[in-house]
Amino acid sequence: MRVQIPSMLFSFVLLPGFLLAQSSVSDSIPSEQTLMAITVLGSQDGLFQFTPGSADQLKQADLHALAPLSGNDAFRTITGVHVVDEEGAGLRMNLGIRGLDPDRSRSVLVMEDGIPVALGPYGEPEMYYTPAIERMKGVEVLKGSGQILYGPQTIGGVINYQTMDPPEDGRGDLRLRLGEGGLFHAQASYGGSTGQTGYLIHMVHKQADRLAYSGYRINDLSGKFTFRVSPSARLSAKIGVYDEWSDATYIGLTQTMYDRGDQDFVAMAPDDQLEVRRYAASVAHTWDFGRKSYLQTTLFGYTTTRNWQRQDFSSNPDAANATGVTWGDSSIPGGSVTMLESNGHRNRQFEVGGLESRVHHPHQLLGISQVLEGGARLMVETAYEQRVNGTLRDAASGALVQDEVRMGLAGSLFAQNRWMVSQRLSVTTGLRAEAFSYERDIRRNVFQGVARDTSIVAGSDLLTLIPGIGVNLTLAPGWTFFSGIHRGFAPPRIKDAVTSAGEALILDAETSWNTEIGIRHAGPSWWDAECTFFYMDFANQIIPVSESSGGTGSGLVNGGATLHYGLEAGGQIRLGEFLPAGHQLDLGASTTLLRAEYSSDRWIESDGVPVNIKGHRTPYAPEITANMSLRYLWKGQLGMQWTSRFTGDQFTDELNQMEAHPNGRTGQIASFWVHDVTAWWVIPGTSIELGASVKNVSNERYIATRRPQGIRLGLPRYFSGSIHYRF
């Protein structure tokens, strides 16, 4: 089977050409300049007519107008995307696409410049580290069959952060942002080119005493370098160092605390703290073969340390070892939180390395113009995890009770071929092969209440094929019809979900068939629009019960069959050409209508009674979300933007319980509207720009999540101001 994979890949990819050859017409492919600009979606608007499936792109102008406090503010504007705030600062991205669970963004492949950034892309694809949006020139989101080029996850979508490139001329940038709660964000960058070498150094410093639920200090240093080795070869290198401290915690409000309304953002566990440190480096070599063909080989590696100290607590008001601090109402069963004089340290370190080669080759076969993209990747990852229990609420260390090492080795082959059947019709076929071998080595654990050394080694292997096909048809200038189907796949997590009691659960792979059909209008005219119907049929979707998802440690984590279907629609109207010279007015709107439900029998015990949850909605999957924006620009000197977003009601558990539990962890989350306003002004005759933003203008009080362990409210009305100097 293994030796047959390469031939199977290319047979599948090239087969449609032989079937279409008799009736097809040769067509020219896009210009070399455009092709060389392709990243995930393509940086040129014209490439969207060839993108196999729905796609979205936020450019630097969009990010500037949003003045985001974090990437969450940007991703919320994209159709089909649901973002859940955890601590208000957006330090840990919780993002789901088309009804998939947003917990730690596990179901989404997140990359930076085409390189995965999750802790462990195969074994633990969690976003405890989130790239700083301040370093980005844009963001790409791909939800269709084209995502099989990137893997390993192909169930939800691909998010690719695009970092800024070295400028041709010497150029610098200084930005400063001040806000409530001691917020101080500063960034500085400088870059240029000397001969055949380009460089860009970027430094971001962020801190706040208290932004909603968190205080934090972050330093993010990155460097990007390019070298022209020869007329046909270039080399690029990138390094990054990220260091974060925050007083992030899992504990949230009880329902009684929320109902009282006088402790919305209280620090319930002030000694909790999280430290994240990440080192990353990559080197890419691009060889231009001429005739629009090139080969890019990338060597990358990164290590992430994530150490989290959290105070223990109990829902029993009479718990032993209590500190004397109790939150909530102890007269209501489950309505209070008793803080304990002990803590736990969840210390994890991840090491990831990979080598990938990709080829881009326009060619002719049987008189049909085509573009082949394909390649191979080898990746290795290792995770070290320890649980250390301290005897004081603020203990810096303690007794080692759990120790585990997880290792994984993965190999991928992938190919995608676009057939230009005619000037109007293209067919894109692709296939990905994933091989993954992994092992868990448990060296210390708790047995019958006692921690002791052990040696439990378990592992497994998998080999799977992930096919996909997409069709793009130009109906008229600027109008494109598209459709596609692909196999959704996410490898079995070595360690994805852990019960609250600490029991490791073995998960199956997630598999689905993802189908979409839509129409897109894009071009030089004054409006753009896209409308997509999607249908995702999961044979097995993982429903997390980890502590980060508010898990109770009961029931199964293999969620079984689920069904996701709905409609995404969005567009933008540019009214500048109808206004006097110098004035620009853009109106944007989008909405997602969604149904995500359990589609097969599955029984869960509730108060001792088994309940069949077939037909129940999946957690954290609002049936409607919507965004609207209005942007005004005057002569490139003055700008203003109003943004509004609506999130429909959500259930927080498989039982779809409407009534809130006293502990605040389950119960329906009501719908809410949030409005933001930003403005900026370039001082005439200078390179200085002043900016201001107000988040949640109406000061809407709403529940953002009941995870990880209690209620978290959304950010209240928040003011900040900025100054930006270019030189």
Neighbours of 283 (CB within 10 A): 15
Q: Around 15, how many Cα atoms within 13 Å sit in the side-chain half-sphere?
A: 13
| Structure tokens that stand for 270 in this block | 């002030």
Residue 46 is given by DSSP the state: G
Q: What is the DSSP string of 208-222?
A: EEEETTEEEEEEEEE
Interval 628-665: pLDDT, tens = 999 999 998 999 999 999 999 999 999 999 999 999 99
Q: Give the C-alpha separation, 490 to 504, whole Å.
A: 19
C-beta of residue 466 within 8 angstroms of C-beta of residue 431: yes
C-beta of residue 534 within 8 angstroms of C-beta of residue 566: yes
pLDDT at 552 over 70: no
C-beta of residue 528 within 8 angstroms of C-beta of residue 572: yes
C-beta of residue 582 within 8 angstroms of C-beta of residue 561: no
Phi, psi angle pair for 561, to nearest 5°: -70, 135
Q: Give the C-alpha separation, 44 to 327, whole Å.
A: 54
Mean per-residue pLDDT, 567-586: 94
Residue 536 is given by DSSP the state: E
Count of helix runs (H) and strand runs (E) in the chain: 5, 34
Please compute Rg for the chain using Cα positions.
26
What is the CATH number assigned to the segment(s) 2-470+479-673+680-693?
2.40.170.20
| pLDDT for 523 | 75
3-state secondary structure of 10: helix
| Structure tokens that stand for 454 in this block | 């052990």
Q: Give the C-alpha separation, 370 to 419, whole Å.
A: 5
Residue 659 is given by DSSP the state: S
Mean per-residue pLDDT, 276-300: 96
Interval 200-224: pLDDT, tens = 999 999 999 999 999 999 999 999 9
Averaged pLDDT of the chain: 89
Interval 455-469: pLDDT, tens = 888 888 899 999 999
| Structure tokens that stand for 336 in this block | 């209070």
Q: Give the C-alpha separation, 677 to 680, whole Å.
A: 11
Interval 379-395: pLDDT, tens = 999 999 999 999 999 99
Q: Is 554 exposed, middle or buried (0-12, 13-18, 19+ CB in 10 A)?
A: exposed
Q: Give the C-alpha separation, 512 to 510, whole Å.
A: 7
The model's pTM is 0.90
Q: Nearest-CA neighbor of 74 among 60, 88, 55, 86?
A: 60
| pLDDT for 28 | 29
| pLDDT for 500 | 36
Length of the chain, in residues: 727
Interval 224-281: pLDDT, tens = 999 999 999 999 999 999 999 999 999 999 999 999 999 999 999 999 999 999 999 9
Phi, psi angle pair for 285, to nearest 5°: -120, 125
pLDDT at 31 over 80: no
Identify the bridge partners of residue 441 per DSSP, sorted by sequence position: 405, 457
pLDDT at 424 over 50: yes
pLDDT at 37 over 60: no
pLDDT at 692 over 90: yes
Interval 94-128: pLDDT, tens = 999 999 999 999 999 999 999 999 999 999 999 99
The better pLDDT of the pair 201, 53 is held by 201
The answer, yes or no, to whether the previous bond of 152 is cis (omega within 30 of 0) is yes
Confidence of residue 151 (pLDDT cuts 50, 70, 90): confident
The better pLDDT of the pair 292, 189 is held by 189
Report how far apart, in Å, the C-alpha atoms of 589 and of each of 143, 525, 529, 531, 586 are: 19, 17, 9, 12, 10
pLDDT at 24 over 50: no
| pLDDT for 29 | 27
pLDDT at 12 over 60: no
Q: Give the C-alpha separation, 620 to 107, whole Å.
A: 13
Interacting residues of 655 by C-beta distance below 8 A, sequence separation 6+: 604, 606, 611, 613, 616, 666
Q: Give the C-alpha separation, 570 to 530, whole Å.
A: 6
| pLDDT for 256 | 95
Neighbours of 637 (CB within 10 A): 13
Q: Nearest-CA neighbor of 599 among 560, 545, 566, 567?
A: 560
Query: End-to-end alpha-carbon separation of the chain, Å?
Result: 59
Confidence of residue 454 (pLDDT cuts 50, 70, 90): confident
pLDDT at 6 over 70: no
| Domain residue ranges in the chain | 2-470+479-673+680-693
Interacting residues of 61 by C-beta distance below 8 A, sequence separation 6+: none
pLDDT at 350 over 80: yes
Confidence of residue 547 (pLDDT cuts 50, 70, 90): low
- DSSP H/E element including 18: helix 5-20
| pLDDT for 451 | 87
C-beta of residue 203 within 8 angstroms of C-beta of residue 188: yes
